[in-house]
Amino acid sequence: MDNRFTLKDFIFAVLLLLIIGAAVMAMSQFNYVNQQVIALSNQIKTLNEQQLAQTQLLQQIVQHGLRIQSGNGKTPSASQKDIRETLPDGTRYVCYPNPPLLPHNPYSLPDYARGDWLVENLGEQPRTLAPFVARDEGATIVQGWVQESLLSRDPLTLKWEPWLARSYRISPNGLKITFKIRRRACFSNGQPVTAQDVLFSYNTMMNPGVDDAPQRVYLNDVKSCRAVGKRTVVFMFKHPYFKSLEVVGGISVLPESVYKFKKASEFNKRGRLLVGSGPYMFDKWTGGEIVLVRNPRYWGPLPTFNRIIYRFIQNPQAALQAFLAGQIDTDSPQPSQWIKYIKQPEFAKTHHCYKFLTPAAGYEFVCWNLKKPEFKDRLTRTALCMLVDRNAIIKTFLHGLAQPMTGPFNPLSPQNDPNIKSIPYDPAKAKALLQRAGWKMGPDGILQRDGKPFKFQILLPSRDPLIQNICVYMKQQFAKAGIDMNVQPLEFSVMIEKIDNRQFSSFFLGWSGGIESDPYQIWDSACYADKGSNAGDFDNAQADKLIAEGRREMNTAKRMAIWHKFQAIVYREQPYMFLFTSEALMFINQRFHNTAPVGKFGPLEANWFVPLKQQKYQ
């Protein structure tokens, strides 16, 4: 065997060194070019900033004359008269010559400055950003900056106000809604927002091939949508429906020129195409973040931040640490994290910490299968509710960061009747009620009725330890009264299948909320059949009648009275054990100013700003 280092080996080694050297030199050269590109892009950014400042100045001059520059602190919309009136024939007419500015808007504050980035955490990465098709909460947040609708909800009054629309008019019978679009509203590509774009957006939503079934069902009552001229859109409805204004006024308006498609599947698959008339433009979506940049052509007040970046940190511990390290600017902590950090005086001083309940928050509940003999009478259901101390659940498992529910409506929603009080925790009274309902203690310590023991199973999603802990607590409480509850955690998809097939006695789940929700889907007796959402078979003729009346009633005050009556029936019947609605928790980096919660919606990012000296990202 020849072990000598030969000429051949030498040449090979030299060649290898040459290749390595060339690679290093190429990388250095690339690095140098990269530096030059960054320097150049920084110059372009500076130029853009200057251009933005000029655009802003021009906008102020054109829209409001010199009044803003004189610093009198009045909002632009105050300069022109807003109209909100009911005409003699019953037509409701609302006109805002200028889009309403958010309450507590920052523009007139002395240290207000544009610039800096807002870096937030979305948790889970959205599955798609395609309008109408995307359903995750994260996608909705991102879309909210880029796309706008004809109306927007006022955070103080919770009413729908004109936004892309300058005005809207509702006919006396509620069957016709006419929108007039603002003249200066335009998309980020510079094209004006027209009635044709609204029509295109509506038609896209109604296209059966477009994967937006959950949203499309809300438009089933729309008879037609017409574009009249360039800026007028008319929606006709089959029946009066209290959510008519919301469902059509809330449609995201898409630019037809960008989104037009031949096959619906094309539209579904454009998960990374996001264009609209909003204050920010979609820039990129990499594996780790979604980047939005300011829309320099925005038709409203120029937005504050240069960029908004959304990262995807699923682990709550990692998210909090990233927040503490300044890698993200906000965090929604877990209740246990909130309790731990809020107690530290230094932390509370150096961060903005907010907890608040929003009227759109959902609630947790236990649904009883009313077809099962053990749950058929309301005395038993009420007794079960009395056996569970919901205040103790909130205090122990949620660190007091939730509120008990008295019915299907959020405590902050006008739908909720504040006079209805939560069913008290009263085991003695519960036992008396169970006795009245015909339950007698058996020899094995389990209650019996008609020879059958009070034993049942509760289904719950296996991924949620909080729900599991609550169910174990409930099991102990029920056992004290002689009721045997078997806790059965299941994977979510398996659990839904069992609920759909009505193979359950009871289940623990949550409903998402709405400021004014339509009770039909969950509570109308017609929604039991065909795998409907009234899984427990709540069948009450009086409640059905009230739901039908409420859905047709266009007068808000009268409708709220109907919902209150409906809530009283649900309270009396107790088809669910209504548990709690959780409070939202938020930590915000100290460099952001004007972060105080606005109305009932909590802190609104559109109001935040960073004074020039504290800006972190240039």
Partner 1 sequence: MTTYIIRRLLLMIPTLLGMTFMLFAVVRFAPGLTTGGGQFSAGIMQSRQAQKQEQEIMERRLHLVDKNGHPISLVMQYILWLKSTCEGHLGTSIVYQEPVLTLIEQRLPVTLTINAIAMAVIYLVSIPGGLITALNQGRLIDRGYGFLSLALYSLPVIWLGSTVLGFLANPQYFNWFPSAGLHSTNTGNMTFFRYIADYLYHIVLPIVCSVYGGFAFLSKQIRGSILENLQQDYVRTARAKGLPESTVLMRHVFRNSLLNLITLTGMSLPGLLSGSVIIEQIFSINGMGRLAYTSTLARDLPVIQDLALVGSVLTLLSYLAVDICYHLADPRVTYG
573 near partner 1 (CB under 8 A): no
6 near partner 1 (CB under 8 A): no
User: What residues pair up with 488 in beta bridges, in sequence order?
Assistant: 459
* Residue ranges in 189-208 that form contacts with partner 1 under rule CB under 8 A: 208
Q: Are 488 and 507 in contact (CB under 8 A)?
A: no
| Shortest distance (Å) from residue 587 CB to partner 1 | 13
Distance CA 242, CA 559 (A): 8
Nearest to 205 by CA among 267, 151, 258: 267
User: Which residue number, 161 or 605, has a Cβ lying nearer to partner 1?
Assistant: 605
Radius of gyration of the chain (CA): 29
Piece of 9-17, 38-46, 252-260, 440-448 that binds partner 1 (CB under 8 A): 38-46
| Shortest distance (Å) from residue 11 CB to partner 1 | 23
Three-class SS of residue 509? Answer: strand
User: Which residue number, 262 or 421, has a Cβ lying nearer to partner 1?
Assistant: 262
515 near partner 1 (CB under 8 A): no
119 near partner 1 (CB under 8 A): yes
In the block, which residue shows the tokens 């935040």? 608
Residues 6+ apart with CB under 8 A from 57: none
Distance CA 447, CA 468 (A): 24
Residue 1: HSE in the Cβ half-sphere, 13 Å Cα cutoff: 1
* Residue ranges in 138-157 that form contacts with partner 1 under rule CB under 8 A: none
Q: Are 273 and 258 in contact (CB under 8 A)?
A: yes
Residues 6+ apart with CB under 8 A from 468: 460, 462, 487, 489
Piece of 156-164, 380-388, 399-407, 507-515 that binds partner 1 (CB under 8 A): 507-515
Give Cα separations from 82 to 96, 99, 556 (angstroms). Answer: 5, 10, 21
| Shortest distance (Å) from residue 72 CB to partner 1 | 38
Q: What count of other Cβ atoms lies within 10 Å of the Cβ of residue 289?
A: 15
Distance CA 153, CA 143 (A): 16
127 near partner 1 (CB under 8 A): yes
Q: Which of 117, 160, 179, 187 binds partner 1 (CB under 8 A)?
A: 117
Distance CA 601, CA 158 (A): 9
Q: Which of 273, 466, 496, 584 binds partner 1 (CB under 8 A)?
A: 496
Distance CA 150, CA 190 (A): 18
Piece of 29-37, 234-242, 294-302, 559-567 that binds partner 1 (CB under 8 A): 29-37
Q: Which of 10, 47, 80, 124 binds partner 1 (CB under 8 A)?
A: 124
Piece of 76-84, 241-249, 437-445, 490-498 that binds partner 1 (CB under 8 A): 490-498
Q: In the chain, what is the greatest distance between 2 CA atoms, to the nearest angstrom? A: 110
* Residue ranges in 443-462 that form contacts with partner 1 under rule CB under 8 A: 461
Q: Which of 192, 296, 362, 442 binds partner 1 (CB under 8 A)?
A: 362
Q: Which of 82, 221, 377, 464 binds partner 1 (CB under 8 A)?
A: 464
User: Which residue number, 170 or 467, has a Cβ lying nearer to partner 1?
Assistant: 467
Distance CA 538, CA 574 (A): 9
34 near partner 1 (CB under 8 A): yes
Three-class SS of residue 32? Answer: helix
User: Which residue number, 235 or 310, has a Cβ lying nearer to partner 1?
Assistant: 310
The tokens for 107 are: 């523009």
Q: Which of 71, 110, 190, 214 binds partner 1 (CB under 8 A)?
A: 214
| Shortest distance (Å) from residue 44 CB to partner 1 | 12
**DSSP labels for 195-225?**
HHHHHHHHHHHH-TTSS-HHHHGGGTTEEEE
| Shortest distance (Å) from residue 362 CB to partner 1 | 7
47 near partner 1 (CB under 8 A): no
Three-class SS of residue 581? Answer: strand
User: Which residue number, 34 or 555, has a Cβ lying nearer to partner 1?
Assistant: 34
The tokens for 231 are: 């800026």
Residues 6+ apart with CB under 8 A from 76: 63, 64, 68, 98, 101, 301
User: Which residue number, 227 or 509, has a Cβ lying nearer to partner 1?
Assistant: 509
User: What residues pair up with 582 in beta bridges, in sequence order?
Assistant: 402
User: Which residue number, 4 or 81, has a Cβ lying nearer to partner 1?
Assistant: 4
Q: Which of 489, 510, 514, 611 binds partner 1 (CB under 8 A)?
A: 510
Residue 235: HSE in the Cβ half-sphere, 13 Å Cα cutoff: 29
Piece of 214-222, 391-399, 549-557, 588-596 that binds partner 1 (CB under 8 A): 214-222
Distance CA 354, CA 333 (A): 11
| Shortest distance (Å) from residue 590 CB to partner 1 | 14
Size of the site for partner 1 (CB under 8 A): 73
Piece of 226-234, 391-399, 491-499, 538-546 that binds partner 1 (CB under 8 A): 491-499
The number of angstroms, rounded, from the C-alpha of 432 to the middle of its chain's C-alpha atoms is 43
Q: Which of 10, 46, 74, 137 binds partner 1 (CB under 8 A)?
A: 137
| Shortest distance (Å) from residue 407 CB to partner 1 | 18
| β-strands 452-453, 484-490 pairing | unpaired
* Residue ranges in 254-313 that form contacts with partner 1 under rule CB under 8 A: 268-269, 271, 286-289, 309, 311-313
Piece of 384-392, 419-427, 493-501, 606-614 that binds partner 1 (CB under 8 A): 493-501
| Shortest distance (Å) from residue 120 CB to partner 1 | 11
Q: Are 263 and 247 in contact (CB under 8 A)?
A: no
User: Which residue number, 31 or 556, has a Cβ lying nearer to partner 1?
Assistant: 31
512 near partner 1 (CB under 8 A): yes
Q: Which of 62, 213, 428, 557 binds partner 1 (CB under 8 A)?
A: 213
135 near partner 1 (CB under 8 A): yes
User: Which residue number, 258 or 496, has a Cβ lying nearer to partner 1?
Assistant: 496
* Residue ranges in 217-236 that form contacts with partner 1 under rule CB under 8 A: 217, 220
Q: Which of 16, 19, 20, 38 binds partner 1 (CB under 8 A)?
A: 38
Q: What count of other Cβ atoms lies within 10 Å of the Cβ of residue 88?
A: 6
Residues 6+ apart with CB under 8 A from 225: 198, 199, 202, 203, 233, 234, 235, 236, 248
Residue 347: HSE in the Cβ half-sphere, 13 Å Cα cutoff: 16
- What binding mask, one character per residue, do residues 528-547 give for partner 1 by CB under 8 A, x or -? --xxxx--------------
* Residue ranges in 319-358 that form contacts with partner 1 under rule CB under 8 A: 319, 321-322, 324-325, 327
User: What residues pair up with 352 in beta bridges, in sequence order?
Assistant: 588
Q: Which of 27, 40, 61, 83 binds partner 1 (CB under 8 A)?
A: 27
Q: What count of other Cβ atoms lies within 10 Å of the Cβ of residue 301?
A: 21
